[in-house]
Amino acid sequence: MEDNNKISRRQVVAGLGATLAAAAVSPTFAASGIRPAADGPAKISDPTKLYPKPPFKSQPQPWPGLQSKMEPVPDCGETSYKGSGRLMGRKALITGGDSGIGRAAAIAYAREGADVAINYYPTEEQDAQEVIALIKKEGRKGIAIPGDLRSEDFCKQLVQKTVDGLGGLDIIVNNAGRQQSIVSIADVSTEEFDATMKTNIYAPFWIIKAALPHLPAGSAIIGTTSEQAYDPSPDLYAYAQTKAATMNYVKSLAKQLGPKGIRVNGVAPGPVWTALQISGGAQPEKQQMFGSWTMLARPGQPTELASIYVQLAAADASFATGQIYGSSGGVGLP
């Protein structure tokens, strides 16, 4: 009887996907993106050998950068992420959804059954259209909404266009971020400081405020914070402050919206290979050795965080709110 109970518990856990381990890249799921495979063992891989290691070539781009021109191109799960229907029928808005972590979340959400609207800066149209094509390939609605998040009016329009285009909204991923590496505070201009604050802090405020009347109970809001919130680099004076503020608004808003049935959580990545680094977000020497200081001796790839964003949005994470989920290769906090 005891053995039978153990088997039953394992089956329940596997069916619900209630842990991040079960929600990872999921090689046991069929290529259809929404149906689990009936046979075949789960594969395991050595994480130190999965992805490229530094040194990387110096490759500066103008802000905000295109990941399609990076070497190596970040892996956002375009060919690897397999879904299992965990977000079937959900409707998501993802800022910074053209590249990096936002792109990985958008691909994963579509393969889990969600319709997705992505926002991005207008110069990132090339990368954005690749994401929209991948979303539509899964048979889901994909809406591209370019614009500058530093504008309150645009943030309001972004929410309304998402609601109109998707027929509702119940997942918000505030992921877009501005990161510029400047060695001395004496060289941080008021214009740069203002642009960072508006992109990283004002925009989520404007978006959440505009979206609240549309969010039903059961909705999820996810903010992308960073290891920089806990262990700031000296050259990321402005950016690191915004990530500490993101961590704080997640915890504050979770208390405010919990009684309404709306969960608010955050993800705190460590060094992840994205266009942030090559478009002014890191000093050249740090960009070339990016991620070498982690326990895995490499940076993370966006796809390695996708399952966390899925987990935090999924209904079976119903008791997770006010939490910060870390993914940093063994460095930083939490």
Residues involved in catalysis: 239
Quickly count helices (H) and strands (E) in the chain: 10, 7
Q: How far is the C-alpha of 240 from the C-alpha of 281, rounded, in Å?
A: 11
Distances (CA, A) of 251 to 59, 148, 256, 264: 37, 26, 9, 7
Q: How many CA atoms lie within 13 A of 175 on its CB side?
A: 31
| Whether 322 contacts 264, CB under 8 Å | yes
Closest CA to 238 of 298, 285, 173, 191: 191
Cis peptide before 64 (omega within 30 of 0): yes
DSSP 272: B
- For the sheet containing 91-95, what is the strand order? 142-146, 115-120, 91-95, 171-174, 220-224, 263-269, 324-327
One-letter amino acid for residue 112 of the chain: E
| Whether 309 contacts 105, CB under 8 Å | yes
- Would you state the structure tokens that stand for residue 65, as one six-digit string? 């950068």
Closest CA to 266 of 279, 249, 284: 249
Q: How far is the C-alpha of 326 from the C-alpha of 28, rounded, in Å?
A: 25
Angle at which helices 203-211 and 152-166 pack, to 10 degrees? 40
Q: How far is the C-alpha of 144 from the C-alpha of 146, rounded, in Å?
A: 6
